[in-house]
Amino acid sequence: MPAVSVVIPTRNRPALVLRAVESALAQTCADLEVVVIIDGPDAATRNVLEALHEPRLLVVELEQSVGGSEARNQGVVHAKGKWIALLDDDDEWMPTKIARQLEIAEAAQNPYMLVFTRMVTRYPTEEFIWPRRLPEPGEKICDYLFIRKGFSFGEGFLQTSSFFTSRQMLSEVPFRKGQLRFQDTDWLLRASSHPKAEIHVIADPLVIYYMNDSAAVSRKPDWEYLYNWGRENLLPLSKRAYSYFLATQCMPRAGKQNAPFRVKAKLLWECIGKGSATLNCIFLGLVYWFTTEKFRHALRDSMNAVGKAKQRLVEP
């Protein structure tokens, strides 16, 4: 029985998933298996992976597409390892990633351990280290993920390709079937709420996270879907996180979708009335309302450049 099972959902991206699989098989921790769930008929992907002739690789091709969340759940069902590491098909790992996480998880002797790592976030022309800061002791995960100081990305960020936990945890707290967006965040909020959950984030970047697929479903604007998700999942956990979620997630998507004035007014009003909005939160919401996406991107890029310069100053 392998110590770790790597679960990778994929469909119609044979070249990308091959890179992800090879990075998993190249780990310094060889006591692992790689379970690839092909989310629906996809002969090209199946043929590319079978050509590897790798005994540690299990390829499961589903008869029909079930979506990313359920594909991960199917991967857990087929996994044999005590520990599960999740990897998106368009990302890859540094060679020591699994060994570092496994050491921490085994030392804790807690099947509800959640171990994450920082990542190299790679754009076509530049890259950054995310998250920019680690969770503070006692900080709620919902606050860590959503409360923002400005427009720079990656301030509080834990992404699927860094997730490492037990098969027991993922069996008790599976991914929500049918979840179209925020699949990783939705699961993380529920898993971290488990009374025995323990969280550790490795400060070193051990994942390469690629930000060059603008066609991904999870990145398409849909303010109403996110709004309904936030009311169900964030509002009961933290009113302040809910306010920032409306201001920094729903407002920009409403703007990108050219939503009418009443929609933006509703989001801003609820940010203040039902959440716990700070002046900074209201300011961010207004900026998203009254500025163009081009202007915000320029502002974000300048702030990212400043953050990157600061990061270089503190590196040894």
Q: Report whether 61 contacts 31 (CB < 8 A).
A: no
Measured distance CA(254)–CA(261) in Å, rounded: 10
Measured distance CA(246)–CA(163) in Å, rounded: 26
Is residue 156 exposed (0-12), middle (13-18) or buried (19+ Cβ within 10 Å)? buried
> Residues 6 or more apart from 152 whose CB is under 8 A from it?
132, 300, 303, 304, 306, 307
> Residues 6 or more apart from 197 whose CB is under 8 A from it?
112, 113, 114, 169, 191
Measured distance CA(245)–CA(232) in Å, rounded: 12
Pairing of strands 32-38, 4-10: parallel
> Residues 6 or more apart from 258 whose CB is under 8 A from it?
none
Specify the pLDDT at position 152. 65
Architecture per CATH, 4-210:
Alpha-Beta Complex (3.90)
- Tell me the domain boundaries of the chain: 4-210, 221-314
Q: Report whether 236 contacts 225 (CB < 8 A).
A: no
Specify the pLDDT at position 214. 46
Q: Where do we find the tokens 């002739």?
A: 53
Say if pTM beats, i.e. exceeds, 0.85. yes
The H-or-E segment that residue 101 falls in is helix 97-108
CA nearest neighbour of 207 among 98, 301, 308 = 98
The H-or-E segment that residue 259 falls in is none
The H-or-E segment that residue 294 falls in is helix 293-314
Paired with 202 in beta bridges are 117
Paired with 5 in beta bridges are 33, 84
Q: Report whether 279 contacts 272 (CB < 8 A).
A: no
Specify the pLDDT at position 216. 53
Residue 84, token pair as written in the block: 């599960």
> Residues 6 or more apart from 186 whose CB is under 8 A from it?
175, 176, 179, 229, 233
Instruction: Please list the rounded mean pLDDT of every run of 10 residues in the chain (316 residues).
Output: 97 97 98 98 98 98 97 98 98 98 97 98 91 93 90 84 98 94 95 96 98 58 92 94 95 91 95 94 90 74 65 54
Q: How far does the chain reach from its first CA to its final CA, in angstroms? A: 40
The residue type of 229 is: W
> Residues 6 or more apart from 63 whose CB is under 8 A from it?
40, 41
Query: How does DSSP assign 157-223, residue by residue?
Result: ---GGG-EEEHHHHHHSPPPTT--S-HHHHHHHHHHTSTT-EEEEEEEEEEEEE---TT-GGGS--H
Measured from the Cβ of residue 43, the count of other Cβ atoms closer than 10 Å reads 10
Measured distance CA(235)–CA(293) in Å, rounded: 27
Length of the chain in terms of residues written: 316
Measured distance CA(316)–CA(312) in Å, rounded: 8
